[in-house]
Amino acid sequence: MSIVEAVLFPIIWVMTQVLEAVHGVTGSYGLAIIVLSFLVSLALTPLAAISRRAEQREKALNDAMRPGLEEAKAKYKGEKRFNAIEKVYKAHNYHPIMALRSLSGLALQIPFLIAALLLLLDYQPLQGAAFLVIPDLGERDRLIRLGELSVNLLPFLMVAASLLDAWANPLIGREAAVRFAILAVGLFLLVYGLPAAVVLYWTCNNVWSLARTLLRRR
């Protein structure tokens, strides 16, 4: 057992019990993964609220600095522009690294995403288990066929839900949205070759997050 597995063992154990309990009721590991994702997202709602407040502070600070930054960029070039921008930052007690606060919501989910990865990556009961159009949850989905070439569909759906969530969130500014998009592409490359069960779980996480964002907008 690795150090990461040892640290996350309590989370993995609870997730395993929930997965098997739901499977015992539904008889479907696909449905069990979806329900597990929903219950974890529900449990993380208080952490999501903390993240939302951080996003609100970040947006308010960016709105306050925007006039000064736009003026600095319009009037100066080179070192003078750099110094003028730094002056604006200093006046608002701001440092660019503080922009990472807008990604705090994702950071809070990382232990649970890793726990799901460790649970579902080589979970023996998933081998050969079909769900809807997915022939085998223990393998890549290969849902798009281009002649002899197969393309995984679930990673595209996962990234699409993530980008829609960022686009629909009024608290995420343009700069944060760009960082979010880069991170989403990185996650796409990370999960593309993973079993369908793992990507299904992460996709559902993004769908629940998008649903919360849309409900807040309403």
Q: pLDDT tens across 4-21, in order?
A: 777 888 888 999 999 999
Q: Is the residue at 209 inside a domain?
A: yes
Contacts 24+ apart (CB under 8 A), 15-22: 15/40, 15/115, 15/116, 15/119, 16/119, 19/119
For 112, the domain range is 3-61+103-217
Q: Is the residue at 80 inside a domain?
A: no
Position 22 confidence tier, pLDDT thresholds 50, 70, 90 = very high
Residue the block writes with tokens 């343009």: 174
Report the candidate in 61, 37, 94, 69 with the shortest Cα–Cα distance to residue 209: 37
Position 52 confidence tier, pLDDT thresholds 50, 70, 90 = low
Give the C-alpha distances (Å, rounded to integers) separating 135 from 121, 127, 199.
16, 10, 14
pLDDT at 102 over 60: no
Q: Is the residue at 95 inside a domain?
A: no
pTM: 0.69
Which pLDDT tens digit goes with each residue over 27-41? 899 999 999 999 988
Q: Is the residue at 39 inside a domain?
A: yes
Q: Is the residue at 14 inside a domain?
A: yes
Q: Is the residue at 184 inside a domain?
A: yes
Backbone angles phi, psi at 132, to 5 degrees: 50, -120
Q: Is the residue at 27 inside a domain?
A: yes
| Helix pair angle (3-26, 29-43), 10° resolution | 120
Q: Is the residue at 78 inside a domain?
A: no
State the total domains in the chain: 1
